[in-house]
Amino acid sequence: MTDIPLIRLDDVSKVYHLESGDVTALDHVSLDIRENDFVAIMGPSGSGKSTLMNQLGILDVPTTGSLLIDNRDVAAMSTLERTHMRRDVIGYIFQKFFLIPLLSAYENVEYPLILKHKQRDTTGRAREILQAMGFDEKLAAHRPSQLSGGQQQRVAIARALVNDPKILLCDEPTGNLDRKTGLQIMDILVGLHGKGKTVILVTHDPKIAEYAKRTVVIEDGRVQEA
C-alpha cells in the first residue's frame, strides 16, 4: 500500500499544437510524490512548471504517459470524475488568489463545501477554518476586492482546505505578495504540511524553496531533481 506514491508521473509529456509548430511543455517527465511530501518546483520562466501543476491539478491531461493520483489513472476518468477529484482531493492556491469576486470571504470558503454537499454549510467548518486564518466575523463579510493581498491569499488557503484535500497545489503563492506577507503565508503552508498535507509549491525564490523538504528543478520541460 505505502509503496504506491500519492502522485506518480510516468513518462509524461505535454505537447501544445500551435500553428507555428509544436511546443513541448513537458518532455518525458517521471516523478513520484509521496503522501505528506513538501516539494518545491523551480525553474526558469517558460520551463513548464505551470504546465506540470495543471497536470497534477487535473485541469489538463498528459498528451502521452500516465499520471496516477491517489491511486487513480487521470486519463481514464470521466470529466465529472475529474471535477470531483478537483473538488475533494486537491486544494489550489494561486498566485493571483482567484477568489470569486461576487462572494464574501466567508462564502468563498463555504463554496467548496456547497459543491460537495449540495447545501449551505451548517457545520460551522467554513467559519472555523476562516477564523484559524485570522478572520473575524466582520472581516469575513468583506468581498475580495475589499481585502489586502495577504488577506485574500489566506481566504484562498482556507477555501483550499475546507474539503480537507490530501494535496495542496500552490503555483507561486507568494508571487503577488511582499516579502513579509509571503513569509507569513509560507508559515501557514509549513504548518499544514506538519498536519499531514502533501504540499507542492512552485516558486522562483530559493529562500521560499528552502521551506520544502525537496526541490525539483525543471528546465525546458525536463526534470532535473536537485
Partner 1 sequence: MKDIFFELSVRSVRLNFLRSLLASIGIVIGVVAISSMGMLGTNMQLSVKEQLSSNVNTIMISSDVVRTTSSAGGPSTSQGVTKDQLNDIKNVAGTNTVIPIHRTNTEFTIGSRDGRGSMYGLDPDDIEKFLTVENGTSIRGANDAVIGSTIASNFNLNIGSRIKVGEHDTDSRPTVRVSGILQSRGFSADGINTDNAIIVSDEWYTDHFGDKDLYDQVNVIVEDVDTISDVEAAIDEKVNRKKDVVRIMDASSRLESISQTLGTITTFILAIGGISLVVAAVSIFNVMMMSVNERVQEIGILLSIGTEKGEVRRMFLYEALILGIIGAVVGGIMTLVIGYSVVSAMIGSTAYFFRPESIIYIPAGMVVGMVVCVISGLYPAWRASNMDPIDALRSE
Ligand X SMILES: Nc1ncnc2c1ncn2[C@@H]1O[C@H](COP(=O)(O)OP(=O)(O)OP(=O)(O)O)[C@@H](O)[C@H]1O
- Which residues of this protein are in contact with ligand X, per CB under 6 A? 16, 18, 23, 25, 43, 45-51
The single residue among 24, 50, 176, 181 that binds Mg ion, judged by CB under 5 A, is 50
- CA-nearest of 145, 134, 129 to 181 is 134
Reported as type and span, the H/E element at residue 155 is helix 149-161
Minimal distance, residue 154 CB to ligand X, in Å: 23
Rounded Cα distance between 118 and 68, Å, is: 28
Rounded Cα distance between 54 and 83, Å, is: 13
95 is a site residue for Mg ion (CB under 5 A): no
66 is a site residue for Mg ion (CB under 5 A): no
Our CB check for ligand X shows the closer of 41 and 161 to be 41
Return the axis-axis angle of helices 105-117 and 149-161, rounded to nearest 10°. Answer: 20
Strands 7-18 and 64-69: antiparallel
103 is a site residue for partner 1 (CB under 8 A): yes
Q: Which three cell numbers mark 82? A: 475529474
Q: In this chain, which stretch among 2-10, 25-33, 104-112, 218-226 interacts with partner 1, using CB under 8 A? A: 104-112
**Binding residues vs partner 1 (CB under 8 A):** 54, 57, 59-60, 79-80, 83-88, 92, 94, 98-103, 107, 110-112, 114-116, 119-120, 159
